[in-house]
Amino acid sequence: MQQTLYVIRHGEPLETGRLLGRTDMPARVSGNEQVYAQLQACDAISQVISSPLQRCQTVARAFCESAGLPLQIDPRLSEMDFGDWDGQSYEVLWQSTQSPGIGDFWQSPWQHTPPNGEPMSAFHLRLSDWWQQFITTPSPQSTAIVTHAGVIKQLLATWLGLPEGFDTHLSRLEIGYAKVIKVTVFYDDTGRAWPKVVF
C-alpha cells in the first residue's frame, strides 16, 4: 500500500523579517491564495491536517469547507516556540549581545535553546510522536499538511533517517512560503512505513 503526503508551508505572513514561532501572526491574503492554489493542485486528497496557528489554519479551513473535506488541527505541527525571541525582528536578535544568541542557536540548535523557548529535543520528540501516530493507521488516501518551515525541515530529517542530534539541514535547507514537498509512504506487509521524498 502506498500513501501520498503533500506538505505545504504557510503563505507569507503580514510582517516579514521577524522570527515567527508560536507568535500567531496571520498570513497575507496573497499568501493564503497561494496555499489555496497548492491545495487545489494536490492529487485526490482525502483530508487536510493543519497547525493551529492562523497562518496555516485559516487557509486550510477555507479550502476544506469549499472542498467538503475533513480538517484535522494538530498542535504538534505548530512551529517551534522561540521563547523570548519569538516575534522579534531578526535585526534586533542579531544585534543582541545576549548569550546564547541567535547565531549560537542557528549553528547548534541542539546545544543552545532560546531563552524560555522550546528545546530542540522537545521539538524533535513532538514531531516524531506525530509521525509515529500518523503511520499507525496506513491508508492509500492522500493527505495534505499545512505547517511551518521548521516543522517541515525536522520531518524531512525523520523521513531521510538522519540521526537525532543532526542539525545541518536546519540552516542549509530553504523552504519558501507556500512551497510543497511531496512524500510517498510505502507500507510493507508487516505494516512498516517507508517514506520517500519525491522531487
**Count of domains forming the chain:** 1
Question: Is the CA virtual torsion 195, 173, 182, 7 positive or negative?
Answer: positive
pLDDT, one tens digit per residue, over 50-84 is: 999 999 999 999 999 999 999 999 999 999 999 99
Task: Kindly report the pTM of this predicted structure.
Answer: 0.96
Q: Looking at residue 8, which CATH number applies to its domain?
A: 3.40.50.1240
Question: Rounded mean pLDDT of 171-187?
Answer: 95
Residue numbers of the domain that contains 68: 2-198
- Residue 90: C-alpha distances to residues 16, 30, 70, 157, 178 (Å): 10, 23, 37, 25, 21
